[in-house]
Amino acid sequence: MSRVWVARADLAAAVADLPGATVDVYDGGAEPAAPDEVEFYVPVLLPSPASLEIMARMPRLRVVQLQTAGYDGVVPHLPAGVTLCNARGAHDAGTAEWAVGAIIASLRRFPEFAASQRAGRWDYRHTPALADSRVLLVGYGAIGRAVERRLAPFEVEITRVASRPRDGVHGVAELPGLVPHADVVVLLVPATPQTKGLVDADLLARMKDGALLVNAARGSVVDTAALVAETAAGRLRAALDVTDPEPLPADHPLWRTPGVFLTPHVAGSTPASSRRIARLVREQARRYLTGEPLENVMFP
């Protein structure tokens, strides 16, 4: 029998009937028995230090299956010879929905109208609209394509950017010349050394007055201090599902900066994502137990 540790009860249920599997739930708190027997491990969605450090006490570990597409924070804790798989595709729908919803909410001033509602104030005004906007998608992988499909009915002009140029897609090196023309800039890139600080003070300064920055990527992609300066001055607006630091401290100025709409890293936290992760974990565990090649292999 192969011991499998997963982070949630629904994931345990998804793999419980697989022949050859002994399944335990470990959510980063109290440890189940026999970590030294674990071969297949699914950490919590956003791995805690405890859920990563425990891998050093798993000498039989062969596979780590993540619940996210990002994996940079896990790599330093990965024992030699262990296969690391991500959850590419599981969060596409939820993240794309969040991005489009955040764009519409920010452009149509829904947060301000919600504040007026709480105050009992009839705050009639004209607002920008998504229609006829120029949208720059920075990161054109599976999630970028999912965002584009959902934006298509809104009569927008879309420009695509990826790490390397290809037919119909600009390279990231072209960003300084592209952002001045965009009404909305959507960040969908992974967290890597190359994307850390990608949206710095210079790039923000190149954005047109009144433009909207949407971050559904990682907080580290944006220079937070520079973003605070631009939004506090009223020149730019922002919709953020991720921040740097994260969680955002209660006294951080982003909480109170006009024109900034914040959610606490919830874009991919949907029932659809949970179902897709459960299907992925089951399939990956089945492949491991039967000796078939794994999918979404990031390392080695």
Annotated catalytic residue 218: yes
| Of residues 32, 17, 19, the one with CA closest to residue 6 | 32
246 catalytic, yes or no? yes
Active-site residue, selected from the candidate residues 218, 230, 237, 276: 218
Active-site annotation holder among 88, 91, 237, 265: 265
**Identity at 54, one-letter amino acid code:** I
Residue 128: phi, psi to the nearest 5?
-65, 165
Buried b (16+ CB within 10 A) or exposed e, 111-141: bbbeeeeeeeeeeeeeebebeebbbbbbbbb
Which member of 112, 246, 283, 295 is catalytic? Answer: 246
Of the candidates 112, 134, 131, the residue with the CA atom closest to the CA atom of residue 122: 112
Active site residue 265: yes
The count of residues in the chain is 300
Q: Give burial (CB, 10 Å; 0-12/13-18/19+) of 16.
A: middle
Cis, peptide link before residue 247, omega less than 30° from 0? yes
Active site residues: 218, 246, 265
